[in-house]
Structure 1
Amino acid sequence: MDTPLVRKLQRFARLSSGEKQALNEAARLNVRRIGPREDIIREGERPDQVNLILSGWACRYKQLEDGRRQIIAILLPGDLCDTHAFVMPEMDHSIGTLSVVTVAEIDRDALTTITEQHPRVTQALWWETLVGTAVQREWTVNIGQRTATERLGHLFCELFLRMRAVDLTDGPSCELPITQVDLADALGLSNVHVNRVLQELRANGLVTLRGRLLTIPDLPALKTASLFNPNYLHLDRIGRHLDATDE
């Protein structure tokens, strides 16, 4: 069975069975389970491997000296946490778990070998990096210009579509294993404000939250209410639909 990384990268390139096998095997060598609210890697540390999220949710974050935290990205299954480890001497931010997470630790040399032997994997990883940068731009717009209701609705749309892209949704529903405090730290809002906006989205029939399950009954309606345009996720790449012939 393909890992979430392979399912994700196939959106960007037509991977052959050999390329998929190389990625799947690399993701199964060194797997570890990490509990919620733990750091995968801390700011200032020097990474010697790339961490791949196999299951669970994590985040990139920066923390100020007084304890205030800003979540700058949410990492889902299929996301590589720290590919910049190839060029950066040390981490300039931390990566922590939001739920129980299973990660594959991929040795940098092993990943380098895969990219050297399989150019389409390199192409797909470049696309993955560029989409990550596009997501970061959209988060900046979200915090800088959208209203609180639009911010939260926009984030829900994005997370749902990213989960659907790696086949981890069930109809209009997906896992949402994060707290209102996490949402507040990602959106630049107070916990109280997030709670108020959640009540508004529920009252308008745009979302349903039961435990750790998010349901979006009418995705087009939530997109409209949140000013959400999914173009920055590049979900329509042809590589998502077609496989390469074996080489």
Structure 2
Amino acid sequence: MTGGRDLRFRSRLLAFAELTDADRRALDVLLDQRQRIVAPRRDVVTEGEVPRFVHFVLDGWGCRYRQLSDGRRQLLSLLLPGDLFDPCPQAVARTDHAVGSITTMTVAEVAPEALALLSCERPVIVRALWWNNHVAMGTQREWIASLGLRTARERIALLFCEVYFRLQTIGRSAGASCEFPLTQADLAEATGLTPVHVNRMVQELRRDGLIEWGGRRLTILDLDRLCAVASFTPAYLHLDRAVVVG
């Protein structure tokens, strides 16, 4: 049965396209066919796995990551409600990275042939999915630039800004606050820093009156200043195409 999780996913697509009632019903059918709940800190897809499905994040937080044989791990991107991954499983023999859960996740597993059929019948949905994937690629490019160009303080500030704007787009923020279940270790793996360095930068941002972060919730006290610290411009999120969901 279609529930709140599916509606959260649709909120993401609605940010990039105006879905008709028929589009929404077709999407509901697609997402209802096969769903999986993944416990926190577990792999959704392991590196080297033979991909079979296109995955849609209905609820919860996850990440793409690469891990070396000695245990060192780098987060490649965050997956939030409304995102999708493995968009073309039929084109890949084996996955070259892993996807893991951060919180409990609910994912819909869609057979590629079912998505292909939908592509023929519902072009508006396809355009929304295309833009969704385009934003994901733009975000990954920004993370690469951040690792090469930004200071530690700027990298942390960028991640706070990005998550806030992404959640605002799907109606998952409340005023200046949003959920933020990452740990400082997660931030370290996302920004290429040590947990000790992350802690120092977070304390700096707190002392400067820019953020409050605790109890899995982030509050941005001065968004303009935080964006300035991060050299954050939302162009890579393509918010000029998005309609913020209230």
> Normalising by the residue count of structure 1, what TM-score does the alignment of the two structures yield?
0.93
Identity between Structure 1 and Structure 2 (%): 44
| Cα distance in 2, alignment partners of residues 10 and 37 from structure 1 | 29
For 2:47 and 2:201, the matched residues in 1 are separated by: 32
- Aligned equivalent of 1:74, options 67, 70, 78: 78
1:121 has 2:125 as partner: yes
Give the paired residue count.
241
**CA shift digits 1:83-120 (9 cap, x unpaired):** 13142122110000111111112222221111110112
Give the C-alpha shift of residue 12 in structure 1.
2.1
Q: Which amino acid aligns with 1:18?
A: A
Higher relative contact order (CA 8 A, sep 6+): 1
Q: How many Å apart are 1:29 and its aligned residue?
A: 2.5
Corresponding residue of 1:233: 237
Q: Is the 2:227–2:233 contact (alpha carbons within 8 Å) kept by the matching residues of 1?
A: yes
**Range with bigger deviation, 132-141 or 77-86:** 77-86
Find the counterpart in structure 2 of residue 30 from structure 1: 34
Moved more, 2-11 or 209-218: 2-11
Q: Which structure 1 residue ranges, 5 or more long, are not aligned? A: 242-247
Q: Report the Cα distance in structure 1 between the residues aligned to 2:90 and 2:176, rounded to whole angstroms.
A: 38
Q: How does 1:118-157 map to 2 (within 5 A)?
A: 118-157=122-161
Report runs of 4+ in structure 1 exceeding 3 Å deviation.
Answer: none
Provide the rounded CA distance (Å) in 1 between the counterparts of 2:134 and 2:56: 17
Indicate the residue corresponding to 1:245 in structure 2.
none
Q: C-alpha separation between the residues in 1 aligned to 2:224 and 2:134? A: 26
List aligned pairs for 1:89-238, cutoff 5 A: 89-237=93-241
Q: Secondary structure at the match of 1:83?
A: coil
Take 2:129 and 2:56, find their aligned partners in 1: how far apart are those partners?
Answer: 13
- State the alpha-carbon separation in 2 of the partners of residues 215 and 86 from structure 1: 41
Q: Shift in Å at residue 7 of structure 1?
A: 1.4
Distance 1:71 1:115 in 2: 31
- Given that 1:47 and 1:85 are in contact with CA atoms closer than 8 Å, whether structure 2 keeps it comes out as yes
Residue 96 to residue 137, structure 1, CA distance change in 2 (3 Å) = same
Q: Give the partner amino acid of 2:9.
A: L
CA distance in 2, matches of 1:84, 1:5: 19
Give the Cα separation in 2 of the matches to 1:116 and 1:100.
Answer: 33
Instruction: Give the deviation of 1:209 after TM superposition.
Output: 0.8
Matched, 1:59 2:63: yes
Letter in structure 2 aligned against 1:193: H
Alpha-carbon shift at residue 223 of structure 1 (Å): 0.6
